[in-house]
Amino acid sequence: MKILIINAGSSSHKSCLYNLTNNHLPEHSIEPIWKANIDWTVTKGQGILTVKTNETKKNNVLNYNSSCQGIIQMLNTLIEGKTKVIKNFSEINIVGHRVVHGGTDYSEATLITPEVKTAIARLIPLAPTHNSSNIKGIKAIEKVLGNVPQVAVFDTAFHCRIPLKSAAYPIPYEWLEKGIRRYGFHGISHKYCAEKASQILNKSLTSLKLITCHLGNGCSLAAIKNGISIDTTMGFTPLEGLMMGTRSGSIDPSILIHLIRKYNFTANQLNTMLNKESGFQGVSGISADLRSIIQAVNEGNSRAQLAFDMYIHRLRLHLGAMLGSLGGLDTLVFTAGVGENSAIVREKTCEVFEFIGLKLDPKKNNDFPVDTDVATDDSTVRILIIHTEENWAIAQECWRIFNQKYLPL
């Protein structure tokens, strides 16, 4: 069974192809036989396509008039040239898409129908850069692969059972009825890491209280109790919550009113500032990348130091909030680019929580651990570093749906 994964974003596009050779879903993730990435940030009308297989790695410059056309060129590398891994597109059994926003309509992965496409398009105003890219990815597959089954796996779905007391904002109730509420994001990653934590600890997921920390360029926390997300830091949009690479996270909303009244900011200007010019980038003036920030800190840059200190402070602050939602903690999980690779972030985050019995082992923490426990033996809270595998999580959903819908009983 061959499963194609499409992760269409605003500035990049990541895809991979899995080949499952038996009728059982492997307990652990497997390596894709083909991986591709398009970086669309180079110049307008061009992208850098990188394709990897077991045999080769190839870089190409794509010239295209639309991102849909760029995706089609990328898909052609599956059946052409040195990166060819299948004879024709008909070998692909099912395609899975990461879709950022499913609103309250979708609480689980679902087959894509005209109605599902309409819903994804309707939610574009809530995730303008992502849901619009998701639609383009779906259309590109339709054009190249025809009527192959396609599955939408929603980033918001895992958070759909958050209690209303956490989901609702303290503004007039009529806005809740109009859909203004906490949706949460990074759900595919949070769910995968919760399930992986259960495996690593050899404990039932329904017995655990977890906080999962997805720390990358975008950052969010989730409080997970009995396998269910009961609270999370991102909200109506992915802007709320933690300080991030270029996003501000939560700020006093009156700041925006002040900027409008005093400095005549427009909605577009505010959106650009909060989403693309804030966070590490805005405070440091150097970079959105934590590695560059830490290098500048080591060189004595005071703004870089401030940015790092603010990041850690806000991470601790929101961890405390998730701890309050759970009423206790069994396991703290770090994942994604920063969470998996930055020992200093894990160290600084954990050091203030020893009062709840959480103790980080410095040696384990600095040994580049993957899918392992880095807490001391006497820590009453386990600390896991888990390599998040969103593509594999999407493939698992595709396998489940394909076996339910398309295989004979």
**Token reading at 247:** 């996003």
Encoding tokens for residue 286?
A: 């150097």
Q: What is the DSSP string of 121-167?
A: HHTGGGSHHHHHHHHHHHHHHHHHHTT--EEEEETTGGGTT--HHHH
Classify the phi-psi angles of 186: left when phi > 0, otherwise alpha if psi is within -120 to 50, otherwise beta.
Answer: left
How do the residues of the chain divide into helix, strand and coil, expressed in percent and rounded to 5? 45, 20, 35
* Rg, the chain, Cα only: 22
By the 10 Å C-beta count (0-12 exposed, 13-18 middle, 19+ buried), 394 is classed as buried
Cα Dmax for the chain: 67
Q: Catalytic pick from 105, 155, 231, 378?
A: 155
Q: How far apart are CA 219 and CA 221, in angstroms?
A: 7
- Annotation marks residue 155 as catalytic: yes
Question: What tokens does 72 get?
Answer: 């089609």
User: What's the rounded Cα separation, in Å, for the pair 35 and 323?
Assistant: 38
Residue 34 tokens, joined: 């083909």
How is the beta sheet containing 110-111 ordered, strand by strand? 57-63, 46-53, 34-43, 12-19, 2-8, 94-99, 150-154, 110-111
Tokens describing residue 279: 């966070």
Cα→Cα distances 234→104, 154, 299, Å: 15, 15, 33
Q: CA–CA separation, 337 vs 343, rounded Å?
A: 11
Taking a C-beta distance cutoff of 8 angstroms, is the pair 75, 58 a contact? no
Spatial contact of 243 and 313, defined as CB atoms under 8 Å apart: no
Among all residues, which ones are annotated catalytic? Answer: 155
